[in-house]
Amino acid sequence: MSKLVIVGTVAFDAIETPFGKTDKILGGAATFIGLAASHFNVDSAAVSVVGGDFPQKYLDLLSNRNINIDGVEIVKEGKTFFWSGRYHNDMNSRDTLATELNVLADFNPVVPEAYKNAEVVMLGNLHPIVQMGVLDQMTTKPKLTILDTMNFWMDCALDDLHNVMKKIDVITINDEEARQLTGEYSLVVAARKIHEMGPKYVVIKKGEHGALLFHDDHMFYAPALPLEEVFDPTGAGDTFAGGFAGYLAKTEDYSFENMKNAVIYGSTLASFCVEKFGTERMVDLENSEVHKRMQQFKQLTQFNIELS
């Protein structure tokens, strides 16, 4: 069984959308990535930090999904990272209402000894120096390293981001971030420029408009499954990344052709995540539901046409 190291936040979120609002609920990149990856029966470990205010039941939830939490540091006198946001009517744009770093401000990740030889490393959205610190702890070079980042790090830690990008195989970012990182409007040109920065594979997420996968001169597009209702898109990108990483860790096939399948699995899992607030849908998600929706994806994208 392949080992998967997941680095990212385990956090509290408070979310407001046109469909309602929540108080503090479970969130964080590592949480969504881990829950998605747990559908692939891989040996995964979360590397993160929480405060003494973090409920034991949430840690148990991760453990019960076979996510090793030895790398989740608990700072008993500290408070857990908290983010609050309000989504606009289009559900694609949002306003950040509060960001409280709390224990994340001094986070020094420690990879559990048993996972320092992991085949796959998923670097969730964190400061690039923290991401690099994880790679430096690996005793063997991972077969696949995946990086997620955001525009905030492009604004305030661009040099550090470029340094870690030289060490990774796959980057997952959204279309706005790809354009900011490269200064190019065309996503095809942007992907080519990102390749030159280090990553062999580039995944550009386009929210409700699907995702693009680039490798050298090859390109693959996967649509997002049209949904009747979207309640909360907060964890969709991390869920996509977790499905992508989990599938690749399970299959141990890191080719471009198999990454196409990983993109579809990531998109499928993300389509569940947005159906309820926070992690609520992912916690109850059954593998049979995933299989059924994968069939819907297949029907959505397959066609027979005679080329003349």
Distances (CA, A) of 236 to 171, 271, 272: 16, 7, 9
Q: Structure tokens of 40?
A: 């692939």
Burial 178-204 (b: 16+ CB within 10 A, else e): bbbbbebeebeebbbebbeebbebbbb
Asked if 146 and 247 touch (Cβ cutoff 8 Å), the reply is no
**pLDDT on residue 19:** 86
Q: What is the predicted pLDDT for the residue at 86?
A: 93
Please give the chain's pLDDT, 308 residues, in tens: 899 999 999 999 999 998 889 999 999 999 999 999 999 999 999 999 999 999 999 999 999 999 999 999 999 999 999 999 999 887 777 888 999 999 999 999 999 999 999 999 999 999 999 999 999 999 999 999 999 999 899 999 999 999 999 999 999 999 999 999 999 999 999 999 999 999 999 999 998 889 999 999 999 999 888 888 888 999 999 999 999 999 999 999 999 999 999 999 999 999 999 999 999 999 999 999 999 999 998 888 887 888 87
